[in-house]
Structure 1
């Protein structure tokens, strides 16, 4: 297909999604978004993005399935264990000085990071005075996160990561295995509020001491990255902490000067 025609189709499709479903993907990174939408079109039996747009406008039940293509759901518990080790050694001691804690996991996907943080906080004796906001734009992902059920064949990787993060307990203390799945403890979830939130269109909703948004900004264009980082800065209290993904950074951002570096390798920052 003519690349110019494809660009036009993509713009019109994203405008249609925004106008009909109020999800704004217009400032997501174009190359990645285009690739995922072309794959979706093929799987939905559409020859072009224009045909996909036509179906979305007239078949609302198709949209939840499309969201799974538009939102990347790749995660694991204690992913990048050194990140959690730095949190444990350098951030948790300072968070422990607050009488109560609020954390925000932005773009929580299917919840692996949420449970990782809840377990870390329990191990460090802070969970009972903590509220974790877990947000995402994908309702299906949020349902999976709230359920806290993962295939048991993923637990070996989760366990290895947990140990490498400096675990003070066994991961098996926090789940029950049955019928091929591992169900995580309800006592972890009672400290979590799962909610819909879009970094593209929504505003700050709470002041938090720690905010983790990992491997989300890489799917945004520069303007939307700046918007999201501005939300994070405004949401964090003074001396609050920000954690980003391994390929994300504050470098060259207009918000860079608002933060100092706690760990450059693990992308952990502190607001001034």
Structure 2
């Protein structure tokens, strides 16, 4: 019998999970192989239970042969439950750290990586508009999941969400109501059309894609703790390659940036709010 034999239910689940994420990568091109395994197994268990399937292997069969179910499952696996970027303190930190650099740049460029929340993009656009920067700033918003990106690109939210985000916007240093920058249509608030022109949407996978531009500000909405150590290192390497000298990176803390080799690339600005500066 081989030394790595499977001799417990937990071992079987781990093997099933490994086979499923490899199958997803080969079938759909979405790479979850570098995700933190415990969190991924929790999401898969919830999908299995909701679909009333016997085990993860049965879930794999449904994912491979039921296209509609697969799309829904991929959105669930791609989504992040983090609420870090709804915090007023988070945006205040971003304002303090990034705005001086953005003002000094002729054509500021911002990358919002792994974005799963339209309110983050709306809040960024409004912040730039209030500071007189939106007209000359290019925003790139990316996600590994096309369906999730399509949902975000609608740039809409309901009245209850608007009210909550409006209060957060004032507390983070905003000067006007978010509603003033949105259009009401069928009970849904959407960012005004004239404020969308400089936003570029794109499918991008931190697990496999290369740096595609130079940026003054990089915001990664997905917590790095949802990645394993190898993928964390890869993501931080991409952000380092993609930032200009003295560019700003904001990620959800805690981060291992300063305790890794990337301490040579970044210095802490407001570490409690996940803000770091790229060193030359």
The Cα shift of 1:251 comes to 3.2
The Cα shift of 1:77 comes to 10
Partner secondary structure for residue 206 of structure 1: coil
Structure 1 residues without counterparts, runs of 5 or longer: none
Instruction: Show the counterpart of 2:96.
Output: 89
Instruction: Show the counterpart of 1:28.
Output: 35
Which whole-Å CA distance do the structure 2 matches of 1:77 and 1:39 have between them?
Answer: 23
Which whole-Å CA distance do the structure 2 matches of 1:214 and 1:249 have between them?
Answer: 16
Instruction: Show the counterpart of 1:66.
Output: 73
Instruction: Show the counterpart of 2:229.
Output: 222
Instruction: Show the counterpart of 1:166.
Output: 173
**Residue correspondences, number:** 272
Which whole-Å CA distance do the structure 2 matches of 1:78 and 1:116 have between them?
Answer: 10
Instruction: Show the counterpart of 1:79.
Output: 86
Q: Aligned-pair RMSD on alpha carbons?
A: 1.7
Q: Is contact 1:108-1:134 (8 Å) kept?
A: yes
The Cα shift of 1:112 comes to 1.8
Instruction: Show the counterpart of 1:212.
Output: 219
Q: Closer, same or farther in 2 for the Cα pair 1:77/1:251, shift >3 Å? A: closer
1:5 aligned to which of 12, 24, 31: 12
The one-character-per-residue Cα deviations of 1:98-147 (angstroms, maximum 9, x if unpaired) are 11011000011132211111111111111111000000012222112211
1:143 aligned to which of 150, 172, 184: 150
Which whole-Å CA distance do the structure 1 matches of 2:201 and 2:223 have between them?
Answer: 17
Which whole-Å CA distance do the structure 1 matches of 2:154 and 2:82 have between them?
Answer: 16
Which whole-Å CA distance do the structure 1 matches of 2:180 and 2:85 have between them?
Answer: 15
Aligned residue runs from structure 1 range 1-272, under 5 A: 2-74=9-81, 79-272=86-279
Partner secondary structure for residue 87 of structure 1: helix
Structure 1 segments of 4 or more deviating over 3 A? Answer: 73-78, 246-249
Q: Is contact 2:35-2:228 (8 Å) kept?
A: yes
Q: Closer, same or farther in 2 for the Cα pair 1:74/1:167, shift >3 Å? A: same
Q: Is contact 1:101-1:131 (8 Å) kept?
A: yes
Structure 2 residues without counterparts, runs of 5 or longer: 1-7
Which whole-Å CA distance do the structure 1 matches of 2:37 and 2:132 have between them?
Answer: 43
Which whole-Å CA distance do the structure 1 matches of 2:180 and 2:31 have between them?
Answer: 40
The Cα shift of 1:60 comes to 2.7
Which whole-Å CA distance do the structure 1 matches of 2:22 and 2:106 have between them?
Answer: 45
